[in-house]
Structure 1
Amino acid sequence: MSRTADEAGLDKDGEQSAPAPKLTLSSTYNASDADVELRSKDGVRFLVDRVHRANLLASSKMLAGMFETVPAPEVKVPIIHLAEDSAVLQQMLAYFYPKRLPRLKLGDMDEDVALIAAFDKYEVWRGIEAYSSAFYFKYGAHFFDRPVRYWPTLGNSFCAYAFARSFGIDDLHAGSKLALIESAEGTEDLEETLSSIYIGSLGAAVDVSSVALRLLAYIHNSRQTFAEGRIHFSSRLRGMITPKIGHVRSFGTRVRVSSRHQAWQRSSTKNTALC
């Protein structure tokens, strides 16, 4: 007896389809009087009661629109299938409620990028603000005050820069530019390296070729400027460094100064500074 495609586990094109994930219940969102069920792509059921549903509707136009499209249910609790996995939804849902949350800590970059994309998609601006604070805490211009081993990596700097560009966050934008400049020096094939860094939807805010070109131009000009002796350190550094945060470290012909070197950056590289 022949079997249908569904019975054989095939999709409409005859390819083997992935088995449906085993359904499990969220340990946090499991209301016995659930008004709606949000189901993650990996099969976790988030049962939301009427009060929580009201918070979701008030906080996200995207989710409100999805609720409106749910047909009259044949079962008691309508189900809305979401494209995100359970780890993302578990973290995202907490930001819909007006309660105090601990400071968001940056983790694995792939996971952070996925959560940022969900915050943006569902218009969870409280979550975007939490990421802005977390990025600035680690990658703002004050990173110069830390030992060099704790300075941002190129990948983290690029992610913070793209985030700042995506959401128009000026203070993070300024600090992440410095982090990107410092972490880029010595990188071979900078454009290819930047292209290989996964930043998800944040990539729409940056032109990798342009960023790589400007970084290389800045690094070249800074080396040339110091090598030619156009900066007189005995007089210039006093105005660029404060006793509290100032420090100078020498790397061959290039001298890196604390965040006060932004003044020099603006005056000497107007045509090559990152946008």
Structure 2
Amino acid sequence: MPEMPEVETVRRTLTPLVAGKTIKKVEVWYDKIIAGDARAFAQKLAGKQILRVDRYGKFLLFRLSDNLTLVSHLRMEGKYRLLAPQAAVGKHDHVQFAFTDGTALRYSDVRKFGRMQLVETGTEREQTGIGKLGVEPNSPEFTRDFLCRALAKKSKKIKNLLLDQSVVCGLGNIYCDEVLWQSRIHPLSQASAIPSEKVTALHDNINQTIALATKLRGTTVHTFLDADGQSGQFQKKLQVYGHAGEPCQRCGTVLEKIKVSGRGTTFCPQCQVLYREKHKQD
């Protein structure tokens, strides 16, 4: 699934392709991609201009004229690309936005998990899944103190908590494994039991990793491509994700892989400490 660095990379590559263009016609070939009535969705978008493309967490926000915002979540395999509107429709192409300048933005999705929703600008938190998200890495709100206070109240396992997006958003499976290894925290540690100095390290590693991954245009492990059709480069920097069975780069212990919240999770059993509340250990 594209995580925050990948979605930000898509936003940055999409912007010069679509900003300022006016939508002439929308075609929806798979209705379930659209939240609500697909025909009404297409009708409302006709004639609207794309002012800019924003992002929050893993959501893309197409800001449109007439105070409308198209909220798009790529989920596992969603991709956007610019082409001619008359180009052959592939089996995984589901939505097309044809512009008045003779180009078109097409959305494709192998698994059909992605979703689009048209809302009034400013109501994204009330109308979409954005309302359930925590703060973003590298934002003014995401301070060391904030993370320490937030984790102190949570009994969840730390990887579950990072994956559910409710405290800090934008991290998925790849970056969770990476930042927990960097911070020497076992993925099954109880959030409230992690010492403050380790939470501080986790905070800093989240910020640094997300910033570097964004600079390197994201991680391409399976199929991620940006709007220009280019792959990311952060996969060359991965220290644990995808390296199960290999020696830990820090201590040499063989990295192990387990399931956490149904997600494959790679960690070092030697240098990532399992923190639990004392009464849970008895």
TM-score normalised to the size of structure 1? Answer: 0.29
Task: Considering fraction of residues, name the structure with more helix.
Answer: 1
Structure with larger Rg: 1
Task: Considering fraction of residues, name the structure with more strand.
Answer: 2
